[in-house]
């Protein structure tokens, strides 16, 4: 029993790669809202890079170890090289918004579905989930986060939603999330034709709608 308890308490070790601070917003969210997680290394490539990098090992070394790698690199040569290293080491790597074989590539950080092998990070961060604790007079009285965007916007927007009528809240949360999101609104994915900014608003809107529907059904059932 003691060994099992120690395993449950063991923190998941995260290694983060970014380019000129590209992951800072997410790192801050993980540090503030994450539980049972430890960021053991942050590698920031703080250089103006050439269009083509023939020797990525000059920028990304292989002297890292951890349970999960978050890849916020922007340069495709560096990003692909990092994924190759992670595959060799047997470490799962998340590269949101990218298209790299061997990596987990959700459309955005808040688009990550629940997957095996992602530990405490995958349980806490990805597609948002809310739980409405109380609805009174058709207004949201208390709202809790079950799963969040790694940037923390899922938590930060709650103060704008509590007190709103249930029929207005989903539209408001979509708008407020887009205010908080740092994604470029003009940066549309060529494959899907969607913007990461608008995607973030829509997944939070859908999450709140599901929570409202569940709470109303439970309320109706309790009044029977």
Verify that 89 and 168 share a domain, yes or no: no
pLDDT in tens, 173-203: 999 999 999 887 666 666 666 789 999 999 9
pLDDT in tens, 142-173: 999 999 999 999 999 999 999 999 999 999 99
| CATH number, domain with residue 146 | 3.90.1010
Verify that 22 and 112 share a domain, yes or no: yes
Among 124, 145, 163, the domain boundary falls at: 124
Question: Do the bridges between strand 129-136 and strand 139-147 make them parallel or antiparallel, or are there none, so unpaired?
Answer: antiparallel
Look at the chain and report how many structural domains it folds into.
2
Verify that 120 and 140 share a domain, yes or no: no
The domain in which residue 208 lies consists of: 129-223
End-to-end CA distance of the chain: 44
Would you place residue 223 in the very low, low, confident or very high pLDDT band (cuts 50, 70, 90)? low
Among 78, 101, 124, the domain boundary falls at: 124
Would you place residue 5 in the very low, low, confident or very high pLDDT band (cuts 50, 70, 90)? very low
Verify that 104 and 207 share a domain, yes or no: no
């Amino acid at each position: 029993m003691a060994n099992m308890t120690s395993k449950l308490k063991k923190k998941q070790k995260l290694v983060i790669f970014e380019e000129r601070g590209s992951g800072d917003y997410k790192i801050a969210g993980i540090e503030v809202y994450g539980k049972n997680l430890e960021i053991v290394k942050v590698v920031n490539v703080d250089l103006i890079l050439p269009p083509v990098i023939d020797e990525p090992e000059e920028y990304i070394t292989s002297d890292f170890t951890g349970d999960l790698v978050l890849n916020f690199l922007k340069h495709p040569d560096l990003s692909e090289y990092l994924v190759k290293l992670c595959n060799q080491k047997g470490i799962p790597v998340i590269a949101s918004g990218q298209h790299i074989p061997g990596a987990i590539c959700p459309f955005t950080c808040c688009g990550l579905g629940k997957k095996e092998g992602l530990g405490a990070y995958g349980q806490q961060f990805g597609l948002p989930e809310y739980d409405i604790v109380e609805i009174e007079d058709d207004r949201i009285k208390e709202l809790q986060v079950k799963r969040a965007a790694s940037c923390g916007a899922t938590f930060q927007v709650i103060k704008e939603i509590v007190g709103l009528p249930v029929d207005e809240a989903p539209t408001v949360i979509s708008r407020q999330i887009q205010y908080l999101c740092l994604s470029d609104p003009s940066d549309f994915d060529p494959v899907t034709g969607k913007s990461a900014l608008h995607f973030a608003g829509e997944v939070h809107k859908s999450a709140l709608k599901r929570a409202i529907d569940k709470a109303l059904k439970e309320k109706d059932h309790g009044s029977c």
